[in-house]
Structures are given as C-alpha cells and as structure tokens.
C-alpha cells in the first residue's frame, strides 16, 4: 500500500492542536523548582521531584510503546488526559515530598499516554518526503505553550495564592483536546487514518534488531542531549534570573520561543531540502555559544538577545533530529522509533534538571553553563560522526 501523500489532513492538524493543549500542562511547571522551595522541600531533593515525572514517562515509553498502535491510540490519549487532569488538580492538596513524588509519577504516566498516542497517530499520516516539514510544524504547537504559559502565569501570579492554582487551572485546556481525540476516533470508524495504518505490531525480534542499529542509537543520544540542554535551562533559568535581578523570566523564554517558532515556520521547507545531519551540527554549536554568552552576560539587557540565540539553534534541532529518525526507520517501525525518541525526550528532561541542579548546587551557574556548553560541543561532534557514517536510508529489519 502507498504511504500518505497529503500532509494537512484533519488528523495531522488535530495532532498539532492536541500537542499544544497537552503541553500547556507541561510548560505550566516552569516554576516548580522554586515552588518546591516554598514547600520546604530540601534543595538536594527538588531536582528529583522535578525529574521523576520524566523518568516515569521515559520508562513507560520503553516498556509500553511496543503495545501501542493506531487502533488503540485514541483510547490511550483519553486515558492520559484524565490522569493529567486529575494530577494537575491534586497539586492543590499534596505538599509532602513523598506525596509529590507519587503525584509526579502519576503525571508522567498521563503524559506518556497522551503524547505516545499522539505520536503513533502522527507518524501514520506523515508523507515520507515531508518528514522535516511535518515535525517542524508539529513542534510549533508545543513551542507555543512554552512561549505563552510562563508569561501568562507570571502575569496571573498576583491573583493566585500559589503556583499550584496555576497547575490546576491549566487542566482546562485538556477538555478541547479530548474533544478533538473523540472526533478523530469517530472518523476512524468511518475510514482508516491512512492506507498503511493497521493493528499489526512489530515482532520482538524486529524491535531488538532495530534498537541496536547505530543510526538509531546515535539519534537517541542526540535527542537526550538536545532535551537535557533545553530542560535544565527551562527549570533553572528562573533561579539565575533572580540571582541577577531579572524580575520576569518570561522575557527570556518569549524571545527564545518566538525565534524558534519563526525559524520553524519560515524555514519549514528547508528541513527537507538541506541535509538534516548538518542542521543538527549547527544546532548544537549554537547552543554551546548560547551557554557561553550566559556565562559572560554583559548585563540583563542582553538576556532577550541570548534567548534569540538559543531559539535559533534549538529551532532547527527538533525537526532535523526527528526527521532523521523518520527517514532511517522502515514504515512498520516508525511509530515505535518515534516513541523511543519521546523516551529520549523524557530521559533528557530527567537528566537535565537533576544534573543541572547538582552542578548549580556544587559550583553555581558558572559550572553549569560551562558543562552544558561542553555537552553541546560533544553532541555536535556526534552529529559529524553521523554525517560520516550513514546515508540516512532505512535498513530493512
């Protein structure tokens, strides 16, 4: 059967909208690290509370992804939204360390169900020749939440007793997301999502041969590094800003997200026209430069400019890395590999805040910035290895 050729279908657009609405319930936790301090959670444990969410989702992506398929995706997404909504409201009542650990794990399970189901649907409707464009557009929905939510919550903070009220309010966005899932589910009963979509899952032997392939392993490592850099900065920048007298961290994130969105919208067709591996190299070198700029910041006036620099680098990273994974995956393994990439995302979100928080505690932000810049340079070198070692053609496994 032929693969889908048309990109802008109801299912594709619906997945993009669902991603935005669901990510509003992730980006709202930008101030969680500082909120934990007000609850009396010890400094050495705050990174663990932040990161256990991603660790839970990461494990579920690895263990449960082989059991997901296009037929079960809508039900799985609805379950995830229920879990995310319930846990978002529960932050109003849970304040102890172990209670928050359990709550973050429940929240992570909900994130897996929602995002894992979305990704299974997404890769089933993407035309092979438009993978970079598709992931570029899809990621814009997620970026919009990171651009809007921190600024909006900072503006609403004077009217809310605590950040937990913001976590609860954000769950309202899951209602329209659930409606879109229901519409997709109804359409599936009328006709298949794509000619290639079916309930058949890959055999365990195929899965094992797939996950040890060098191109797959390299891309998973690059994705972990990309997200670890992004995740640590997202959770730790507020503390750096307070240390240097910057009142509104939304200035940095808005500048960063605006430039990321602009890059992905204006250059969306270039993601399939230029060799994606070289785009990944440029991404990490730019991120490394951004961390050095923060370490030698001439003044708070430069913060938005550094945000733009990060945005330019990270703006090309996500579509390029995910587009490469789509290209090296045979059709029946694209859903699995896409969710393995999401597992790498959660690994990055776990490792970024935990290791970044430890570096800040041990040596202040100077050590954290230098270490993050070094990680980005190593990742750029791995990207060069990719360019030298693969032609980016899928291997039949």
DSSP per-residue letters across 210-265: HHT-HHHHHHHHHHHHHHHHHHHHHHHHHHHHHHTT---THHHHHHHHHHHHHHHH
Does residue 84 lie within any of the structural domains?
yes
Does residue 219 lie within any of the structural domains?
yes
Alpha-carbon span 100 to 111, nearest angstrom: 16
How far is CA 124 from each of CA 7, 44, 87, 283, 309, rounded to the nearest angstrom? 11, 42, 30, 27, 34
Alpha-carbon span 374 to 199, nearest angstrom: 44
CATH code of the domain containing 341: 1.20.1250.20
pLDDT exceeds 90 at position 289: yes
**pLDDT digit string, tens, across residues 252-265:** 878 888 888 888 88
Does residue 110 lie within any of the structural domains?
yes
pLDDT exceeds 80 at position 117: yes
Alpha-carbon span 290 to 136, nearest angstrom: 22
Q: Which domain holds residue 378?
A: 10-389
pTM of the model: 0.76
Overall domain count for the chain: 1
Q: Is 42 exposed, middle or buried (0-12, 13-18, 19+ CB in 10 A)?
A: exposed
Does residue 3 lie within any of the structural domains?
no
Does residue 4 lie within any of the structural domains?
no
Q: How many CA atoms lie within 13 A of 211 on its CB side?
A: 17
**H or E element at residue 281:** helix 276-295
Does residue 286 lie within any of the structural domains?
yes
pLDDT exceeds 60 at position 394: no
Does residue 5 lie within any of the structural domains?
no
Does residue 1 lie within any of the structural domains?
no
Can you give the pLDDT at residue 395? 47
Alpha-carbon span 370 to 293, nearest angstrom: 10
């Amino acid at each position: 059967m032929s693969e889908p050729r048309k990109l802008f279908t109801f299912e594709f657009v619906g997945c993009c909208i669902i991603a935005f609405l669901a990510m509003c319930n992730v980006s709202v936790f930008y101030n969680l690290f500082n909120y934990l301090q007000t609850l009396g959670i010890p400094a050495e444990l705050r990174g663990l509370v932040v990161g256990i969410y991603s660790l839970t989702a990461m494990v579920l992506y690895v263990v449960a992804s082989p059991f997901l398929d296009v037929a079960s995706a809508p039900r799985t997404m609805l379950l995830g939204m229920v879990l995310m909504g319930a846990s978002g409201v529960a932050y109003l009542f849970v304040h102890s360390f172990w209670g928050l650990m359990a709550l973050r794990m429940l929240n992570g399970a909900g994130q897996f169900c929602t995002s894992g189901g979305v990704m299974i649907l997404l890769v089933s409707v993407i035309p092979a020749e438009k993978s970079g464009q598709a992931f570029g557009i899809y990621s814009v929905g997620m970026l919009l939440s990171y651009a809007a939510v921190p600024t909006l919550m900072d503006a609403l903070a004077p009217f809310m007793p605590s950040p937990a009220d913001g976590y609860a309010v954000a769950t309202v966005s899951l209602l329209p997301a659930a409606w879109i899932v229901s519409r997709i589910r109804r359409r599936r009963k009328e006709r298949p999502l794509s000619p290639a979509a079916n309930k058949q899952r890959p055999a365990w032997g195929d899965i094992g041969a797939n996950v040890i392939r060098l191109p797959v392993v390299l891309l998973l490592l690059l994705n972990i590094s990309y997200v670890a850099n992004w995740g640590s900065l997202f959770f730790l920048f507020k503390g750096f800003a307070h240390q240097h007298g910057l009142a509104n961290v939304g200035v940095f994130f808005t500048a960063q997200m605006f430039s990321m969105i602009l890059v992905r919208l204006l250059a969306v067709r270039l993601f399939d026209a230029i060799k994606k591996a070289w785009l990944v190299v440029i991404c990490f070198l730019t991120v490394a430069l951004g961390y050095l700029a923060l370490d030698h910041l001439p003044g708070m006036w430069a913060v938005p400019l550094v945000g733009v620099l990060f945005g330019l680098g990270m703006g090309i990273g996500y579509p390029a890395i995910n587009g490469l994974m789509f290209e090296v995956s045979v059709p029946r393994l694209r859903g699995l590999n896409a969710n393995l990439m999401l597992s790498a995302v959660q690994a990055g979100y776990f490792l970024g805040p935990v290791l970044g928080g430890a570096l800040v505690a041990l040596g202040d932000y100077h050590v954290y910035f230098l270490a993050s810049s070094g990680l980005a340079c190593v990742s750029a070198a791995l990207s060069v290895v990719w360019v030298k070692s693969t032609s980016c053609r899928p291997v039949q496994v």
